[in-house]
Amino acid sequence: MSRIGKKPVSVPSGVTANVSGQTVSVKGPKGELKTILNEQVLVKMGEGGIKVDPINETKLARSAWGMSRTLVANMMKGVTDGYSKTLEITGVGYRAALNGKVLQLNLGYSHDVNYAVPAGIEVKVTKPTEIVISGINKQQVGQVAAEIREYRGPEPYKGKGVKYAGEYIHRKEGKKK
């Protein structure tokens, strides 16, 4: 039994939710999200909120149960509060700047790295070494942050590169003479 899947997802005030078959759409103050859940789960709108149940007791249905409920809960949180990730840039001469909808990164290469910010994502450069990525879709915010980090991930010797705020970089000892 899924402990997460048992709990219904409550619908906060100011949010309208609609369930039709396997499609769940949520509209709130920050925007609108829509997803199609796995056919191994049954989605119902009830008094306590949106309830997700497995269609039968197979392993596949039980494994999709908790994940489907979490997807709906993430949509609720996204349209009310939103999600954000912070990236930190470490290194001499490494910096970021925002030109319209293009994030320009100086990461020690012979050229600047230009990243086109996708629709639905808001990027702020609070300091030249700090990037804040925010949006209503948790998966999309995490994907954009991962793509930016991938341009120059943190290296273990000096710690230079792009890392998540609060991420611990295991440092290695360099060569000895």
Q: Please write the tens of the pLDDT for every residue from 131-175.
A: 999 999 999 999 999 999 999 999 999 989 999 999 999 999 988
Give the model's confidence band at 21: pLDDT under 50 very low, under 70 low, under 90 confident, else very high: confident
State the pTM of this model: 0.87
Identify the structural domains of the chain with CATH numbers, from first to last: 3-80 (3.90.930.12), 83-164 (3.90.930.12)
Q: Please write the tens of the pLDDT for every residue from 43-93.
A: 998 888 899 889 888 888 888 898 999 999 999 999 999 999 999 999 999
| pLDDT score of 70 | 92
Q: Please write the tens of the pLDDT for every residue from 97-133.
A: 999 999 999 999 999 999 999 999 999 999 999 999 9
Give the model's confidence band at 1: pLDDT under 50 very low, under 70 low, under 90 confident, else very high: low
Question: CA 119, CA 82: separation in Å to the nearest integer?
Answer: 15
